Structure 1
């Protein structure tokens, strides 16, 4: 029966039979429904998709992260076996650029165990084709990684994990839900209040009608990864749009065909995401025994790793592409483009000194 219903019809049927659903449930169904979810059926990345990520803008992004990973591997005394894991690898573009550079370091390729975490069958097929030479394997969970320390890369991964939303009312916080009004999907509030004491201290003094978001899924992923790395060594590099400290405000957004759309429209056909609470993720990582670097912007991170020099070198060797390279550099680092909106978090084994975080 469910196979013959559209995702829109399945969501509405679930609401009619079980009542309004949380924003997290709605977001999860829209993105990862087993047969009709956004990440299960299409190819969302690229000019033909709904959005373009940093690796698709320029090879420089992945190349610099490749140098960064080699630096950490060398700081760990060049272990003879280690896991390199990417979360949500997209079309495999970022990892291909990373490894093209990183595998020039003597011993890096021989020590490498490449692991990928992906839910989209079409994207997994692209990853397999692009990264075949490195013999990737796909993980189903983060319980443990074989073979020494783990270096984890997550570019625009955490923003796609479902969030729950709560709104402050005089009698406490009420969860925001998706229900039906006159037969159409609409936002509403659960009638059951949640005491203010159950909320983080950062929002204790929130004004009436303030909205607060939390991603339990993102926290759980970080907890599992940090637990493994605290035992085996390594680091987690997360790059995403988000904020430094836990704060209030509605950041849930929908993008379709490179333009903003209504969050409740076209479930399964629209990308849904929310800003990442990097403060919360840092707290989870530290509670597992990892060290964290002060959050930096993507522009700061790439500039400190030498993207300006890399752009100049590419322009000299490809003078016909100099304008395109200059445009890509601006898109990745300029304050009015991705440079400030995107932040970079690094959680790592105590004792490591990841480059790019200290001026």
Structure 2
């Protein structure tokens, strides 16, 4: 247990009586002193990777990052981009960006790239600096997405993220159909223990949630849980504004679904699910991304939203089979087994292939590889 974080939370709860779920998650994950990603005692290897709390696709296989890099390269070629901004949200250990830059370094085109990285964690930022220093590209870090747009040059901007949006805090609401009651999940403190409770929404707060569910109202169960992330809303809006200003595209890879319904919040400690209150400050928290919400935001901004793909579809269409065949030619037996193991984990429907989705949107009239309207 992170005792300093626990004490900080208790003080907040004593002062405010309760915290909404969104605020509670924001504190335990991103508090500048004690949060999961920022704890001054946090070691690099404790966060991401086989020895950490969770492992992401770029850490599983180089195939993932290389194919994302090839997609970006094709986008640049088809649209004759010679100077770009490449912005990654939540770069983790820097592995995805490193694999992308390696692909670009192997090409004949001299595409000039300015790298921008949105990173909340000082621990991970130090890892990224170390991993990316071998590439001769200008690097700029931000800890707040609202600071980025005005600091970009006018070059086309490509924005990428992998398992970033699932880690953003959410609120949970419940709708009781027969009683026509809306509640919000909150966190309280009793006898030194945290617990979840429900608070009936104030009348002025109801239209926001009722608007989310109105198209599905007839199909809703008697008791329906609705998830919504103010952080996802603000980040997607900022990405859209960057694309409107500079032109470009967004490639978002995450696990999720096409609706806001259900309780999908989970905590993970050392690659295993954990009780939500048992390892506060030591566990990572995430929830399924609602891609239908992202689509609505994008279309409201008058940008082009493309059909959602599964990670399996994206990787197969980008040529992962040919890529693994080529890499295997010069690999030893151990390396071939490692490549095949990573391939299976990324592409298999039983593992990451179906639950992970690839979302793309861009300014209109851009030529975007493999995605359809």
For normalisation by structure 2, the TM-score amounts to 0.90
Q: Which residues in structure 2 correspond to 1:1-359 (within 5 Å)?
A: 6-41=4-39, 42=42, 43=44, 44-79=47-82, 81-109=83-111, 111-132=112-133, 133=135, 134-139=137-142, 140=144, 141-144=147-150, 145-169=152-176, 170-194=179-203, 197-199=207-209, 200=212, 201-205=214-218, 206-244=220-258, 246-320=259-333, 321-358=335-372
What secondary structure does 1:136 align onto?
strand
Q: How far did 1:203 drift? A: 4.8
Q: How far did 1:285 drift? A: 1.4
What secondary structure does 1:123 align onto?
helix
**How many pairs are equivalent?**
353
Contact 2:81/2:156 (<8 A) preserved:
no
Q: Cα RMSD over matched residues?
A: 1.9
What secondary structure does 1:279 align onto?
helix
Q: Tell me, in whole angstroms, the C-alpha distance in 2 between the residues paired with 1:13 and 1:293.
A: 46
What secondary structure does 2:249 align onto?
strand
Cα deviation per residue 1:249-281 (whole Å; 9 max; x = unaligned)?
A: 000000001100011222211100110011111
Q: How far did 1:226 drift? A: 0.7
Contact 2:113/2:138 (<8 A) preserved:
no
Contact 1:179/1:186 (<8 A) preserved:
yes
What secondary structure does 1:39 align onto?
coil
Structure 1 residues 204 and 253 mapped into 2: Cα distance closer, same or farther (>3 Å)? same
For normalisation by structure 1, the TM-score amounts to 0.93
Cα deviation per residue 1:6-55 (whole Å; 9 max; x = unaligned)?
A: 11111122111211111100110011011111111233101111011000
Tell me, which stretches of 5 or more residues in structure 1 are unaligned? Answer: none
Cα deviation per residue 1:308-357 (whole Å; 9 max; x = unaligned)?
A: 11111111210322121111101000000000010000011212232233
Q: How far did 1:5 drift? A: 6.3
Tell me, which stretches of 5 or more residues in structure 2 are unaligned? Answer: none
Contact 2:298/2:304 (<8 A) preserved:
yes
